[in-house]
Amino acid sequence: MTAMPDPLVTAVASLPHGPEFRFLDRLLTLEPGVSGTGEYTLRGDEPFLRGHFPGEPLLPGVLLVEAAAQLAGIVAQSDPAHAPMPGLKLTAIRAAKILGTARPEETVTLHARITARMGKLVSAQATASLRGTLILQCEVTLAGG
């Protein structure tokens, strides 16, 4: 019996990030080219936590935005109506509201929905929540090469 590829591994391969800068552990849902839901669990051993903040580690809000943008990139790259865009990167953040954060051993649930496409630009609305409480809402624009 042939093992099925892990959908997250396949999806993350569509992004330019290395393993050290991936903020998605699980892909829970994916409606290709439309929306997706994923999770990131803050382990507690991430190097950035040593300085943010010593003795009281918190996931930086900018990394919540990055996680949301990575999920939006996976959704965009999965669209069967559009060829994958090499080097897809975050190029704009709008209407970002960081309403909370995560601590080690907490799991953040992310959701991204594509709102527009124009050439090599993709816009998405994204949110992050922790135990059902909204901790981030934003709009991101991604651009591919």
d(CA 122, CA 144): 9
- Closest to 71 (Cα-Cα) out of 9, 19, 11, 122: 11
CATH of the domain at 111: 3.10.129.10
User: Does a structural domain hold residue 70?
Assistant: yes
What is the CA 90 to chain-centroid distance, rounded?
A: 11
Instruction: Identify whether 52 is a catalytic site residue.
Output: yes
User: Does a structural domain hold residue 2?
Assistant: no
d(CA 8, CA 10): 5
Q: What percent of the chain has pLDDT over 70?
A: 92
User: Rounded to two decimals, what is the model's pTM?
Assistant: 0.93
Mean pLDDT of the chain: 92
SS3 at position 63: helix
- Say if residues 113 and 91 touch (Cβ distance below 8 Å): no
User: Does a structural domain hold residue 94?
Assistant: yes
Residues 86-123 as b/e (b if ≥16 CB within 10 A, e otherwise) read eebebeebeebeeebbbeeeeebbbbbbbeebeeeebb
User: Does a structural domain hold residue 57?
Assistant: yes
- Arithmetic mean of pLDDT, 58-85: 96
How does pLDDT run across 96-143, given as a tens digit for each residue? 999 999 999 999 999 999 999 999 999 999 999 999 999 999 999 999
Query: Which of 17, 52, 82, 111 is labelled catalytic?
Result: 52
User: Does a structural domain hold residue 92?
Assistant: yes
Range of the domain at 14: 7-143
Work out the end-to-end distance of the chain between its first and last CA atoms, rounded to an integer number of angstroms.
Answer: 38
User: Does a structural domain hold residue 1?
Assistant: no
Please state the domain count of the chain. 1
Q: Is the pLDDT of residue 14 over 90?
A: no
Q: Is the pLDDT of residue 4 over 50?
A: no
